[in-house]
C-alpha cells in the first residue's frame, strides 16, 4: 500500500494549536495532541493505522518515541464496530486482519487515549479502469497508460517491477531518466507541485485531474515484466495533498479532517496495467 509520510510542522511540535503566522510570537505551553496516520486500500485488510502524539519543537521527532501502543482503536462500517489490535514489534501500529476494505463504503475511525478521543471517517473510492498496451519496445514509441474513473480526490500513479530479466544493453539506454526496477511501489510525486488550498482550481494539477501518463522506453534499465498502478484517492487525501504545500509566508495547517487530533485517515482504490519491456 502506498504511503506518504506526513510532513507537518505541528506534528513535531505545536500540539493542538495552529502554526503561528507571527514568527516572533510565543508558542506558549506545549500540549500533546493525538496524531493519526492511516491508509485504507480497497481489497486489502485494515493494517498499519498509526497512533501517536505530537512532540515539542525543541525535540527531534522520533516516531517510535511518539507512538501510543495502548490506545483503544476501532473502525465502524455498516453499523458494525471492529476493534483493532496492536501490531507486534511496530510501536503505535494497529490492524484488523479480518476486516477487508470495500470500495463505496464509509469507515469511521475512533481512537481513545489518555489524551482524549479523536475521530475520522473516509469513504473509499471505486478503482479506476486503466488500460495500456501489453508490450513496450526499447527504442520504440513512448508507452501511454490511460484511465477512467470518478473521484473527488484525484489520482496518483506508481510503477513496479514484477519480474526483471537481463539488463538492457547500454547502447539502447541513451537519454531519459531511468527507474530500473521501478520505485518499489512509492507514489510518483512528479505532479505534486501545487499551491496550498487550491481545490477550487483543481484543473491545474495533473495528479488531481490527469487521466493518462506516458513513459519513455529509455527510462527502463531492465527487460522484464512491470506493472503500472493508478490509485483513485478519497477527498481526505486530495485535500491534504493540496493544502500541505506550505510556504514561509503563511504557515497555516493542512486539512486533516480529524476531530480531536491531527494527521490523515484516508483511502484509495487501485487498478493496474501489466506490460513487458522487450
| Separation CA 222–CA 145 (nearest Å) | 20
Lowest mean pLDDT across 7-21, 25-39, 74-88, 260-274: 7-21
Work out the mean pLDDT of the chain and round it to a whole number.
Answer: 80
22 confidence band (pLDDT: 50, 70, 90)? very low
Q: What pLDDT does 132 receive?
A: 95
pLDDT digits (tens, 9 = 90+) for 84-119: 999 999 999 999 999 999 999 999 999 999 999 999
CA 28 vs. chain centroid, Å, equals 32
What average pLDDT does the segment 10-22 reach?
Answer: 39
Residue 123: which residues within 8 A CB-CB, separation 6 or more?
Answer: 104, 105, 106, 107, 234, 235, 267
Say what the pTM is: 0.77
- What residue has cell string 455498516? 78
- Are 159 and 227 within 8 A, CB to CB? yes
pLDDT digits (tens, 9 = 90+) for 191-207: 444 444 444 454 444 45
What average pLDDT does the segment 72-79 reach?
Answer: 98
Nearest Cα residue to 118 out of 54, 56, 171: 54
209 confidence band (pLDDT: 50, 70, 90)? low
| Separation CA 30–CA 14 (nearest Å) | 7
Q: What pLDDT does 16 receive?
A: 39
What average pLDDT does the segment 133-144 reach?
Answer: 90
172 three-state secondary structure: helix
Please return the burial class of 5, using the count of CB atoms within 10 Å of its CB with bins 0-12, 13-18 and 19+. exposed
- Are 218 and 173 within 8 A, CB to CB? yes
Q: What pLDDT does 253 receive?
A: 73
Residue 53, all three cell numbers? 502524539
Q: What pLDDT does 104 receive?
A: 97
- β partners of residue 50: 37, 93
Amino acid at each position: 500500500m502506498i504511503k506518504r509520510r506526513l510532513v507537518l510542522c505541528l506534528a513535531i511540535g505545536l500540539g493542538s494549536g495552529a502554526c503561528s503566522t507571527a514568527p516572533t510570537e510565543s508558542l506558549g505551553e506545549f500540549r500533546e495532541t493525538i496524531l493519526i496516520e492511516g491508509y485504507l486500500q480497497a481489497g486489502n485488510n485494515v493494517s498499519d493505522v498509526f497512533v501517536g502524539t505530537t512532540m515539542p519543537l525543541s525535540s527531534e521527532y522520533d516516531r517510535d518515541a511518539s507512538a501510543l501502543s495502548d490506545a483503544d482503536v476501532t473502525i465502524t462500517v455498516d453499523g458494525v464496530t471492529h476493534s483493532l489490535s496492536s501490531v507486534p514489534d511496530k510501536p503505535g501500529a494497529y490492524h484488523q486482519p479480518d476486516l477487508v476494505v470495500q470500495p463505496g463504503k464509509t469507515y469511521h475511525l475512533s481512537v481513545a487515549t489518555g489524551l482524549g478521543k479523536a475521530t475520522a471517517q473516509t469513504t473509499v473510492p471505486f478503482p479506476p479502469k486503466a488500460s495500456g498496451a501489453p508490450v513496450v519496445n526499447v527504442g520504440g514509441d513512448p508507452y501511454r497508460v490511460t484511465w477512467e474513473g470518478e473521484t473527488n480526490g484525484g489520482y496518483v500513479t506508481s510503477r513496479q517491477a514484477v519480474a526483471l530479466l537481463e539488463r538492457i544493453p547500454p547502447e539502447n539506454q541513451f537519454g531519459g531518466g531511468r527507474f530500473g526496477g521501478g520505485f518499489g511501489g512509492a507514489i510518483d510525486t512528479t505532479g505534486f507541485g501545487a499551491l496550498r488550498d487550491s481545490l477550487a482550481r483543481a484543473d491545474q494539477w495533473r495528479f488531481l485531474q490527469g487521466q493518462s501518463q506516458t513513459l519513455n522506453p529509455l527510462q527502463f534499465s531492465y527487460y522484464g515484466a512491470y506493472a503500472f498502478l493508478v490509485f483513485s484517492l478519497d477527498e481526505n487525501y486530495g485535500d491534504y495533498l493540496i493544502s500541505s504545500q506550505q510556504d514561509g509566508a503563511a504557515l497555516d495547517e493542512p486539512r486533516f479532517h480529524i476531530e480531536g487530533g491531527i494527521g490523515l485517515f484516508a483511502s484509495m482504490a487501485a487498478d493496474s496495467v501489466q506490460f513487458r519491456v522487450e
